[in-house]
Structure 1
Amino acid sequence: MTHSRKDNSLSKRFPGAIFKTKIVKSMDGTIADVFHKEVYRWRTGAAIIWSVITVPVVFGVYVMLAYVDVLHPSQWISGSLSTLFSVFFVLICFVLLALTGLWCCLCLPTFTVEPEVSGTPLLLAISMCSPQKLGFGLVCFLVSGLSSLLCTGILMGRYQDLTVCTNRDFCVLNEHHLFLVLYGCYTGVIFYLFHFLKQNNYLQFNTIQQSKYFQVRSQILPLLQTSFHCVLQQTIYFYPLYWLFGHIPTGWIVHSLGLRRSALPLDSIYGLLDMGLLWQTVLCGLLVHVSWSLGSLLIKVYITERYCFPIESMLNEKKNQCLIDALQCDQNIIVKYLGYLDLCLLSKHSPERRQITFSLSQPGGHPHNWTKLSTSCLSVITALSEKIQDANWQVFSQASIRSEDIRKPPGNQHGSTLTYRGDNVTKETAPPQPIREASSFWRTKPIISYFLTEFPDAKSRKLFASAQLDIWAVEALCHLVATSYTEDKYGVVQKSLPQILTAVINLQENVEKHMKLASSGRRISGRGALDLPLKYVLHSSLKSCIYRIINVFGVHLLNLDLPSDTSYKLKLFMDFKE
């Protein structure tokens, strides 16, 4: 079955959404289809159910805090309990359950296993305005606004209704109610930005396996702290915004409904100095942030849970659903990630499954399992090594071009660039001087230059966006090679040892050069980005894995048929000079 490049790229960004299209296109029992029907649906369904179950608890805590009265604790407790056991609370809770479940379902397609890196602020803004993300932002806006509207209903008093009728037979706009509803919509927009800009949609896989309960429990306190920090920060910005532009929605509502404004409007400094309103505003933001963040956490924990693929199957209908099929699954990238995670854990902690990996086929006596698994890992390692090598070459060529420009005679109006394509270096003519002058002119403008200036670490982050697969592939191969010294009865692994050493050492050398080139340039600016450690984890994993193989085989590795540069590099590792 063939798949377009567009489908593959979409599956990396929206794994949940692509499963639905693949299931329509193919019903031939591929590993992507089976995983979707038998694993993905159950995991996401369980995550959404648990997210919905936590809503009454979070909403109950919200009611207790909303009715807080330190000076009258007995009234506070009695009022809170009466509200919690009222029919109105149950009805509102059911609506919140439905809204949270809807949000979780629509949030699923936004999760990605590879970080999305934008080169410039302009490209970042364009990516945030894509139809898929804008649709999710609209959902956040509406669901958060409805949730805040329900909160005003449970609060009663001055927050309950949009209008207040006086004894003079006219209605006055209740700005406290409108303020909370607008803040709820604003909270949804902020969470939408937080979800993508802070990489809250980035799926990270844990190599240290823990139960889902312990994973969630360990993340509860950081989740509450992050939510509280975000709510305080967004509230600090909302108050000045309402003071400057609050008259626009209030004026439109007053004019449309024929209402009157109160004598003390909230879009004034004195009107905003209401501690009771501030308390309810913060609680409303916390209700939305905690509920959605908890739902997002549960989804990530369930989706990234380890899945054990069979190494081989004797059943014909299961032959295309083994570990090697997961490693080569490009229809859905999340299956590929789970496959490499399973292989990495297999190589470290599963002697029984390693024996199956080292076994020979019967009849014939061929190491099919090892050949397929090692070939898949080597292809991933080689692909990244070539990408890094090309990127390093581009840096060197640009440095040489800059030096040429410095020594270029003033009369030369057209520069030239060196382009690396495989083994060929070609010379390309630079754009005419007027175009370059126009580009330089616009880049001097402060605002435009900000949007056109490239992030210092963008290229490096793009280069290592899929490095997690290489980390698992390197660790899996090296652990399997190390354990093969005592467990490989037939010596199937040692035949591939020269290829493995060559690929790993080449990748280590290219990563080393890239990190030196990156450190000599501008410092990274993506503080807080969850994908930044990938480059450093890969670098340390490569070194530790090479030393692990050396510790097992020792100087016997020098007897292998290796390229001269690989042998030289290996000798440096043996002498502890790397």
Structure 2
Amino acid sequence: MNSNLVRQRFTYKDLLLRKLSYAVVSSIFSQLVILSFYVFLTNIDVFHPLKWIFSSLGMLTSFSTLLFLIPFLTIIFGQSLICAKDYVIKSSYCSTRFQKFIATFSIHNLILSLLHITVGAALTWLFLSVPGGKYRSLIEDCNEKVYCLNEGAFFLVLSGFWTGFYFFVKIYIAEKNLSFPVIHQRKFLQLKSHLINLIKDSIIQSFWPSLYFVILYYIQGKSLTESFRAIFGLLEFEQKPSVFIYIDLWFFSALYYFNMNLMRFYFNLFLTEPVQFPLVRNQNENLTLQESITNYDWPIVQNLACLDLHLLAQWSNLRRQVFFTLSNPGGHPHNWNSLVENTLRLIKEYTDLLNKTIDVPEKKINTPIVQAPLIQSPDRFRNLRNMALYDQDYNFIEVSKPPLAKFSFSATVITKISEKFTNILEFVKLILGIKFLFGELPQANVRKCLANGHLIIWASQGIADIVSASLTEDKFGVVQKDLPAIITSLVSLKQSLEKLNKVPALTRKMVGYDDFNYQMKGAVTAAVKRSLFNICRTFEAYMQDIPLSKDIAQYLQVHIICKA
């Protein structure tokens, strides 16, 4: 498995640029392959195979084809570069609907939307023009000096604009996450295993935008056609498009979806490819595994570092030995100290974010304490009745009551006015939509935590596997000194994850089994529990010697079945 990993000796930007360049080049090359396959398929001639092959090759290598290909591939190249930013740059967190609205209509998304729309029309125009046919051009010669509009070609090119817009709004904005495979295979095997699913999904996904376009064109198509003819001075073409043009519409929509899904697949294929990070810094290397674990500026690098930690902890005995060695001279475990410090920092920050978003502070109810006016007697005669009270004016006792009653009345009135004002303000916010736009979305922070669940899955299992291997491989015992901190951090994280079961939006009754947040919650909880169980099973005979707090030891006994 290690033979499939890629050894990198670059900076973070060099690493990402290499991966992204592979994805962009593969996407452009795939466009050429698809176009070549389409040309060979449309010019098929079984009875004259040589003529079929040479005519197709001549069509692909002609000067007119190059004129069509150059602008199309340029647009694809620009689109790929801009789309790449969404996969490698740290995305901004939107906790309110207003922030989501601003992020949706950002300059970056506006440029991407224009590129998607342009690619949709350019793709249809390219595949109509290169092989030829009755829809090869928007304009047809009616007479010597008069030109007509080919309504069928206009219909299909216009559908390309709509398909690009629909894909961007419906799919691209909503889905930008990378999916790391459970078992990493060679790239050709991954492409081979996903190709059929990509084709099938593209055909299914393109059905609805095709249907919507037919409905929209039926409502506004005539006015659009007349306006286009009036602008360019064209006449109506006598030959009307046949019913089979709807099949062509669905085909080109599916072709666009397939190209876009294939481009996203390439990004996922190359960016999620495992990387072996250096474990020791030297002059030629500016990135190490230990520092990359907490690299929040480049999330994809952080994911790859945690994945590398998980893989080396399981499969690489030689790389594990680096953490068990001491520096020479000095005899200090710098490699291990750096790893455990950054890993525990990642786990602690994740735990703190969970606690901050899940725990709701209880409202303290302040009950007013009414103290009656008491006249104390001297301590010497505490049990005797003070007869001197009857010798004084009786109004002395009554005079002390009005200020208290007045104070209590004023406080009550102020409290009621404050509550009334708060209710009116909340009502105004509700009416004007202020709370709807600027109020924090429910469980938004929890979803943000679960989106980064892969980091905790790999980091917790990786550090636990290294700790378990240290019992037989760590000759100097550099790991054992950090066992209490590691176990305590994992237990704290496990306790915070258990609170997610109380979140209504993450219960099985509210969501389905295929919900991403529900699945990630179960995966992270299972990974942390497995990590604790792995450590407890390995050090079961020595758990009494590990200085753990009473609460941690009791938790391990009850929940992990560990004799701590």
TM range (shorter): 0.7 to 0.9
1:316-331 to structure 2, matched below 5 A, reads 316-318=283-285, 320-331=286-297
1:62-81 to structure 2, matched below 5 A, reads 62-63=38-39
2:333 corresponding residue in structure 1: 367
In 2, Cα distance between the equivalents of 1:510 and 1:374?
Answer: 21
1:231 corresponding residue in structure 2: 206
Partner residue of 2:252 out of 281, 284, 288: 284
1:208 corresponding residue in structure 2: 183
CA separation of 1:517 and 1:561: change in aligned 2, threshold 3 A: same
CA separation of 1:527 and 1:258: change in aligned 2, threshold 3 A: farther
Contact kept? 1:346, 1:354, Cα under 8 Å? yes
1:82 corresponding residue in structure 2: 55
1:143 corresponding residue in structure 2: 119
Gaps of 5+ in 1: 1-30, 266-270, 402-407, 416-429
Q: Deviations over 1:194-220 (max 9, x none)?
A: 443441x32233453322222222221
SS in 2 for 1:161: coil
Shift of 1:292: 2.6
CA separation of 1:531 and 1:64: change in aligned 2, threshold 3 A: farther
In 1, Cα distance between the equivalents of 2:180 and 2:311?
Answer: 12
In 2, Cα distance between the equivalents of 1:454 and 1:174?
Answer: 52
CA separation of 1:155 and 1:232: change in aligned 2, threshold 3 A: farther
In 2, Cα distance between the equivalents of 1:328 and 1:198?
Answer: 27
2:426 corresponding residue in structure 1: 436
One-letter amino acid of the structure 2 residue matched with residue 243 of structure 1:
Y
Shift of 1:451: 7.6
Q: Deviations over 1:512-532 (max 9, x none)?
A: 112233368796569977565
Contact kept? 1:59, 1:287, Cα under 8 Å? no
Contact kept? 1:160, 1:177, Cα under 8 Å? yes
Partner residue of 1:536 out of 503, 509, 522: 522
One-letter amino acid of the structure 2 residue matched with residue 311 of structure 1:
L
SS in 2 for 1:164: strand
In 1, Cα distance between the equivalents of 2:246 and 2:47?
Answer: 23
In 2, Cα distance between the equivalents of 1:234 and 1:455?
Answer: 30
SS in 2 for 1:321: coil
Larger-gyration structure (1/2): 2
SS in 1 for 2:476: coil
TM-score of the two chains, using structure 1 as the length reference: 0.78
In 2, Cα distance between the equivalents of 1:209 and 1:521?
Answer: 31
How many corresponding residue pairs? 507
1:502 corresponding residue in structure 2: 488
SS in 1 for 2:548: coil
> Is 1:258 equivalent to 2:224 in the alignment?
no
> Is 1:337 equivalent to 2:313 in the alignment?
no
CA separation of 1:207 and 1:242: change in aligned 2, threshold 3 A: same
1:426 corresponding residue in structure 2: none
In 2, Cα distance between the equivalents of 1:48 and 1:468?
Answer: 26
1:407-486 to structure 2, matched below 5 A, reads 412=416, 414-415=418-419, 432-441=422-431, 458-486=444-472
Shift of 1:345: 1.0
Shift of 1:540: 0.7
Shift of 1:433: 2.4
In 2, Cα distance between the equivalents of 1:451 and 1:246?
Answer: 36
> Is 1:384 equivalent to 2:361 in the alignment?
no
1:93-112 to structure 2, matched below 5 A, reads 93=69, 95-112=71-88
One-letter amino acid of the structure 1 residue matched with residue 307 of structure 2:
L
In 1, Cα distance between the equivalents of 2:238 and 2:435?
Answer: 46
Shift of 1:46: 2.2
- Does 512-521 or 474-483 show the bigger shift? 512-521
CA separation of 1:81 and 1:277: change in aligned 2, threshold 3 A: farther
Contact kept? 1:481, 1:493, Cα under 8 Å? yes
CA separation of 1:321 and 1:451: change in aligned 2, threshold 3 A: closer
Partner residue of 1:178 out of 122, 139, 154: 154
Contact kept? 2:90, 2:298, Cα under 8 Å? no
In 2, Cα distance between the equivalents of 1:251 and 1:32?
Answer: 61
Contact kept? 1:471, 1:537, Cα under 8 Å? yes
In 2, Cα distance between the equivalents of 1:502 and 1:457?
Answer: 26
Shift of 1:289: 2.1
Partner residue of 1:41 out of 17, 20, 25: 17
1:91-130 to structure 2, matched below 5 A, reads 92-93=68-69, 95-112=71-88, 123-130=99-106
Gaps of 5+ in 2: 1-7, 366-411
> Is 1:246 equivalent to 2:225 in the alignment?
no
SS in 2 for 1:111: helix
Q: Percent identity?
A: 25
In 1, Cα distance between the equivalents of 2:160 and 2:49?
Answer: 25
Q: Deviations over 1:448-498 (max 9, x none)?
A: 999889866534212323222222211111111111111111111111010
Q: Deviations over 1:242-268 (max 9, x none)?
A: 112223432321221222345797xxx
CA separation of 1:513 and 1:275: change in aligned 2, threshold 3 A: same
In 2, Cα distance between the equivalents of 1:558 and 1:412?
Answer: 59
Shift of 1:572: 0.8
One-letter amino acid of the structure 2 residue matched with residue 543 of structure 1:
K
Contact kept? 1:164, 1:173, Cα under 8 Å? yes
Shift of 1:392: 2.4
> Is 1:354 equivalent to 2:320 in the alignment?
yes
1:300 corresponding residue in structure 2: 268
- Does 279-288 or 345-354 show the bigger shift? 279-288
1:51 corresponding residue in structure 2: 27
1:24 corresponding residue in structure 2: none
CA separation of 1:116 and 1:535: change in aligned 2, threshold 3 A: farther
Contact kept? 1:113, 1:202, Cα under 8 Å? no
Contact kept? 2:460, 2:490, Cα under 8 Å? yes
Shift of 1:356: 0.8
Shift of 1:506: 0.7
CA separation of 1:431 and 1:518: change in aligned 2, threshold 3 A: farther
Partner residue of 2:280 out of 312, 329, 339: 312
Shift of 1:119: 5.2
One-letter amino acid of the structure 2 residue matched with residue 433 of structure 1:
N
